[in-house]
Amino acid sequence: MGLHQAKLDNLTIEADPAVISLGDVEDFQNLFESDPRNRLASNTLVDNQLLASLVNRKAVLDLPHVFSEKLELEGKITNQKSSGRCWIFAGLNALRIPMLSEYKADDLELSQPYVFFYDKLEKCNWFLESMIELVDEPLDDRTVSFLLTDPAQDGGQWDMFVAIVEKYGVVPKKNFPESFHTSNTGQLNNLIKKKLRDYAHRIRQLHSDGVSGEEIRNHKSKMLEEIYKILAITIGEPPKAFDWQFQDKDGKLQTYNDLNPLEFYHKHIKVHLPDYVSIVNDPRNEYKKIYTVDYLGNVKGGRQVRHLNLGVDQLKALAAAALKEGKPVWFGCDVGQSHVRRSGVLDVEAIDYHSAFGFDLNLNKAQRLEYRESLMTHAMMFSGVHLDSDGKSVRWRVENSWGEDSGEKGFLCMSDRWFDEYLYQIVLNKKDLPKELVDLLDQEPVVLAPWDPMGALAQ
């Protein structure tokens, strides 16, 4: 399209190319109206949801919820409701799998509110310690500004789940059930954010007044007392000791008395979480290297967030091998991409933008990360995989935490191509890795910036 010209006092003046001229708009309109397909698309979409109208039916039908490899036992579908606790749900869903067999229990759920309570408390301490460490930096410093944006959100990563469970243990859901504010976290989060920003200002004020670091931390203890009070009032106090009772599949009452959360974790779950490692596929960065993210974590003095970066084909082969052995696989992905919610399908061709708009989306996985088009937004658990005659993965069975009304009675079906493009992380036991990968785990990590996409928190 050439530049439109304006005439003033017999002088020809070229329009500013940075400005949309009225002539440009007229050209856009004429071009749009010249194609009858645009009118059909507009008549369809004006009064209907965009994504629901663009579902590629063939892509959905090509992904049946049938799998050659599937966990022998699966727990009942859980529901995180209006909260960002998916990483906790996925972690506890994986922990309960061996318990279902050992205790012959089909109605077993571990308490997400318990982990959530202590994660909130620890995240607040993490934030306050970061504010103390950065107290000499200006408020418009990018790291300070980033940390102040959302100082205690619900989301998390695998290593943060491990840090909480290793320190505080686990309890059954019946011993510490949901409160309104664990299932609907918005108001609680807003209150905590207000307090944390108040505290950040107070820390800077104390430092400016010449108060010592030791005394500032005395003030921090008082701040954490208030945070604990907020959590205890809105969620309830977590149990220090409890009795675990349930009826097994044979109808027999099972009772274990006077347990504490750490004892329950070590004695009855029998999963050694420190043996599990995060493996990511980040094509922006060098493979076979360990990465961490600056200022990312929850438990001070606890487990560091660490990722081993490998090619996506390695992630698929490792995850499929674990599932064939009956082991669940925790994973993180960008769940909002090419997702047909009502049928529970994740496939790169599931949403047909081209038929309606005449264009395709062309960024590759690395470019989507670089341009903030994609990052890990959600954690779930693989409970099965379908392999072809050559043993290659075709589609994946996914246990979600959005209740039974989502997807196929709570489960999703992920295509192998979707795995390639939008899955970023899996978690496996070191015992399930070949020696050449285990040998890479002790590297000093490459430190990524706090705002790097690999630091995204699954919600």
Catalytic, out of 86, 124, 333, 413: 86
Kindly tell me if the per-residue pLDDT of 5 is higher than 50.
Answer: no
For this structure, is 429 an active site residue? no
Provide the pLDDT for residue 13: 54
Asked whether residue 271 is assigned to any structural domain, the reply reads: yes
Asked whether residue 102 is assigned to any structural domain, the reply reads: yes
For this structure, is 378 an active site residue? yes
Distance CA 372, CA 363 (A): 11
Catalytic, out of 181, 307, 339, 378: 378
Asked whether residue 46 is assigned to any structural domain, the reply reads: no
Q: What is the CATH number of the domain that holds 234?
A: 3.90.70.10
Catalytic, out of 79, 125, 189, 400: 400
Domain count, the chain: 1
Residue span of the structural domain in which 192 resides: 69-455
Asked whether residue 134 is assigned to any structural domain, the reply reads: yes
Asked whether residue 22 is assigned to any structural domain, the reply reads: no
Provide the pLDDT for residue 106: 77
Asked whether residue 44 is assigned to any structural domain, the reply reads: no
For this structure, is 86 an active site residue? yes
Could you report the per-residue pLDDT of 353-378, keeping only the tens digit for each? 999 999 999 999 999 999 999 999 99
Kindly tell me if the per-residue pLDDT of 113 is higher than 90.
Answer: yes
Kindly tell me if the per-residue pLDDT of 6 is higher than 50.
Answer: no
The average confidence (pLDDT) of the chain is 96
Could you report the per-residue pLDDT of 417-427, keeping only the tens digit for each? 999 999 999 99
Kindly tell me if the per-residue pLDDT of 275 is higher than 50.
Answer: yes
Asked whether residue 25 is assigned to any structural domain, the reply reads: no
Does this model's pTM top 0.85? My answer is: yes
Asked whether residue 244 is assigned to any structural domain, the reply reads: yes
Could you report the per-residue pLDDT of 192-221, keeping only the tens digit for each? 999 999 999 999 999 999 999 999 999 999
